[in-house]
Amino acid sequence: MDVFEAMETCRAIRFFTKEPVPDEMIDKILYAATRAPSPGNSQGWDFIVVTDATIKQALSAKISTVMDATVGAIQQSMGGLDALDDVTRRMLQGTVNMAKTLGDIPAIILVCGKKVYPPQAPTEQFVWSALYPAAQNILLAARALGLGTCFTTYQNTCEKELRELLHIPADVYIAAFIPVGWPAINFGPLARRPVEDFVHRNGWQGDLRA
Ligand SMILES: Cc1cc2nc3c(=O)[nH]c(=O)nc-3n(C[C@H](O)[C@H](O)[C@H](O)COP(=O)(O)O)c2cc1C
């Protein structure tokens, strides 16, 4: 698949079938992740791949409890989800569904890393600089293989339990929690504003958004 087609259709997928994903496909996605750029080519990344049903189920229980409470609070403050715009409402419903069904989603990839750059005085900023490009490569490689993904920060909903369950050392940062599986909904097209809204040519000449 052409890389532009992959980018244009790489929607966040939050509904998956239960069909397994071959290990070779996950390996290919991980290979793509490790081809990403990083500060000084430091490659300060680690990927935890979770396919064990018991672990996924345990994560699902923890994360969906927090997601239910979060969405419940939004619902209460707004007087119901109907008060939200379509995109936000669908996103919230989708993320609640994804948390609940994590146990059935074939794989979860956690994009992690330690402070390694610059070598003489490593900073946290450069951890994220390495991990976000790697995460984006995961999304695009999966899309090119016909697999769905969703970039999430689910790790923040249960970081302590997640670290215990997966034995993640305290000095390892977690940038993304990415479920991977066969999509139960269609890919793309993406809803994005026109490129002209964002591009400043030869300097910042005023606010481009009307
Ligand atoms: C840093 C980051 C964090 C995100 N966190 C979540 C999340 O916790 N849960 C979720 O369902 N989606 C999450 N998303 C996905 C975004 O909601 C999604 O990419 C965005 O709404 C655009 O939707 P689209 O990719 O389908 O066009 C996250 C995306 C990014 C880049």
State the DSSP string of 77-123: HHTSGGGS-HHHHHHHHHHHHHHHTGGGSSEEEEEEE---SSTTS--
Domains of the chain: total: 1
Q: Is residue 196 part of a domain?
A: no
Chain centroid, CA 197 distance in Å = 25
Domain that holds residue 146: 3-53+103-184
Q: Whose CA is nearest to atom 19 of ligand 1?
A: 12
Query: Does any domain span residue 142?
Result: yes
What is the number of other CB atoms lying within 10 angstroms of the CB of residue 32? 19
Residue 77 belongs to some domain of the structure: no
Max CA distance (Å), the chain:
55
CATH number at residue 118: 3.40.109.10
Ligand 1 centroid to residue 192 C-alpha, Å: 13
CB of 123 within 6 A of ligand 1: the answer is no
Residue (of 147, 129, 191) closest to 26 by Cα position: 147
Looking at the domain assignment, is residue 61 inside a domain? no
Residue 32 included in any domain:
yes
Q: Report how far ligand 1's centroid is from the alpha carbon of 95 (Å).
A: 9
What is the whole-number distance in angstroms between the Cα of residue 151 and the centre of ligand 1?
Answer: 5
* pLDDT tens-digit series, residues 26-66: 999 999 999 999 999 999 999 999 999 999 999 999 999 99
What the block records as the tokens of 28 is 């290919």
Q: How far is the CA of 99 from the centre of ligand 1 (A)?
A: 13
Q: Which two tokens stand for residue 164?
A: 């215990």
The closest residue, in CA terms, to atom 30 on ligand 1 is: 151
Structural domain contains residue 18:
yes
Q: Are 176 and 108 in contact (CB under 8 A)?
A: no
pLDDT tens sequence across 69-96:
998 898 888 888 788 888 889 999 999 9
Q: From residue 145, how far is each of 7, 154, 191 by CA, in Å? A: 13, 24, 22
Q: Is residue 78 part of a domain?
A: no
**Reported pTM:** 0.96
92 lines ligand 1 (CB under 6 A): no
Question: Does a structural domain hold residue 31?
Answer: yes
pLDDT confidence of residue 210: 63
